[in-house]
Amino acid sequence: MLQSIKCIGILTSGGDAPGMNAAIRAVTRSAIFNDIKVKGIYRGFKGLLTGEIEDFKTNSVSNIIQRGGTVLKSARCDEFLNKEGRKVAFENMRKHEIDALVVVGGDGSLTGAAIFAQENNIPIVGLPATIDNDLMGTDVTIGYNTALNTIVDAVDKIRDTASSHERLFFIEVMGRNCGALALNSAIAAGAEAAIIPEISIEKDQLHEFISQGFRKSKNSSLVLVAESEITGGALQLAERVKNQYPQYDVRVSILGHLQRGGSPSAQDRILASRMGYAAIQALQEDQRNIMIGIRNEEIVYVPFSKAIKKEKPINPELVELLRVLSI
């Protein structure tokens, strides 16, 4: 182990994701097991600037693995976008004798971590935690499985009322410019279609869906829509249907932030625990500026440059599967 790393700081940043607490627990206990001190940093990078930092012991992370959200909280920090703000954050790191950071978050959080690491020559390891599952280099991110299950449960309930009233429902889910949640939840819930940004760029999915005569054998239809400027979102699509196809009774359900909440699934707890443990192993191996990923059930180290700011492709076989099964 690098003798210079005697204390690590851990923070959660960006949108919360189920399993973040399991990651905090795994990082903390794995570090302590290896005689490394741990400092919990509250409210993400903002806590680094304001000095909201405290010692974490084994019992600091007791009874949190089953909880959603993050006990370390998360917050926006515009000051961290500036070099002067990052300098204050680095000075606070030195003040608290923190030698390395573990950052748990999504694309924006890891982008900030990469810049901070480069400017100050400090070891940082990232854990991919976002329900969007939009980070390259890992098959799945912490929180995605739980969010998927939450969406499917909600869609199952919406189907009951859709069937009762013979309606066309547009159900909007999160994902920004990544359609993984919409596509996979559509398959899992038996929906008729998923309108996702990856395909909206190429063709008019709504027109194709309507023109195929989607109601020829069904008394109701469910369409999952990824929230995105590219797709237009569920409200814009519903308005278009009302104008162009007034014969259909259209309703919209925007699931919103309920997708982020809830107790993490067993899969997310295990994934977060494995990744948290791997983060400490990586630091012991003198790895820096990497994200912990998982590919084919094996832990991998992914350079920040390859994990962030790149679009994660959709599996075309899943698109075809949904098309075939929705007849």
Give the pLDDT confidence of 191-245 residue by residue, as tens digits: 989 999 988 655 577 777 776 655 545 556 899 999 988 888 999 999 988 898 8
Contact in structure between 289 and 122 (CB atoms under 8 Å): no
Question: At residue 138, what is the residue type?
Answer: T
Torsion of the alpha carbons at 91, 85, 43 and 23, rounded to the nearest 10 = -70
Return d(Cα 24, Cα 40) in angstroms, integer: 9
Phi, psi angle pair for 172, to nearest 5°: -90, 130
How much is the pLDDT for 4? Answer: 79
How much is the pLDDT for 315? Answer: 93
Q: Where are the alpha helices (DSSP H) in the chain?
A: 20-33, 44-50, 83-95, 107-120, 144-165, 180-189, 197-200, 205-211, 233-244, 266-284, 304-307, 316-325
- Which pLDDT band holds residue 103 (cuts at 50, 70, 90)? very high
Return d(Cα 270, Cα 264) in angstroms, integer: 10
DSSP labels, 23-66:
HHHHHHHHHHHTT-EEEEETTHHHHHHHT-EEEE-GGGGTT-TT
Mean pLDDT, residues 113-126: 96
Q: Tell me, what DSSP letter sits at residue 18? A: T
DSSP labels, 246-268:
TTS-EEEEE-GGGGT-SPPPHHH
Q: Tell me, what DSSP letter sits at residue 312? A: P
Give 64 or 168, the one with higher predicted confidence. Answer: 64
How much is the pLDDT for 261? Answer: 94
Task: Measure the CA angle with vertex 129, ends 128 and 134; round to 5°.
Answer: 70
* Residue from 99, 132, 134, 268 carrying the catalytic annotation: 132
- Least confident stretch, 95-99, 288-292, 312-316: 312-316
Share of the chain above pLDDT 90, in %: 77
Examine the pLDDT at 259 and tell me if it is beyond 90: yes
- Which pLDDT band holds residue 247 (cuts at 50, 70, 90)? confident
- 145-180 confidence digits (pLDDT tens): 999 999 999 999 998 888 777 778 999 999 888 999
Residues 6+ apart with CB under 8 A from 170: 223, 225, 234, 237, 238, 250, 251, 252, 253
How much is the pLDDT for 221? Answer: 85
Strand partners, 45: none
- pTM, two decimals, is 0.93
Mean pLDDT (the chain) is 92
Residue where the block lists tokens 């994934």: 271
Mean pLDDT, residues 32-52: 97
Rg (the chain; Cα; Å):
22
Q: b/e for 216-251, b at 16 or more Cβ within 10 A?
A: eeeebbbbbbbbbebbbbbeebbeebeeeeeebebe
Q: Is 153 among the residues known to form the active site?
A: no
Q: Give the end-to-end CA distance of the chain in Å, rounded to a whole number.
A: 58
Mean pLDDT, residues 84-91: 96
Angstrom CA distances, 12 to 33, 34, 175, 245, stand at 21, 22, 19, 46
- Which pLDDT band holds residue 268 (cuts at 50, 70, 90)? very high
Torsion of the alpha carbons at 199, 203, 207 and 209, rounded to the nearest 10 = -40
Edge-first strand order for the sheet with 221-226 is: 193-195, 221-226, 168-173, 250-254
- Which pLDDT band holds residue 1 (cuts at 50, 70, 90)? very low
Task: Centre a 10 Å sphere on the Cβ of residue 21 and count the other Cβ atoms it contains.
Answer: 26
In terms of DSSP bridges, do strands 37-41 and 53-56 run parallel, antiparallel, or are they unpaired? antiparallel
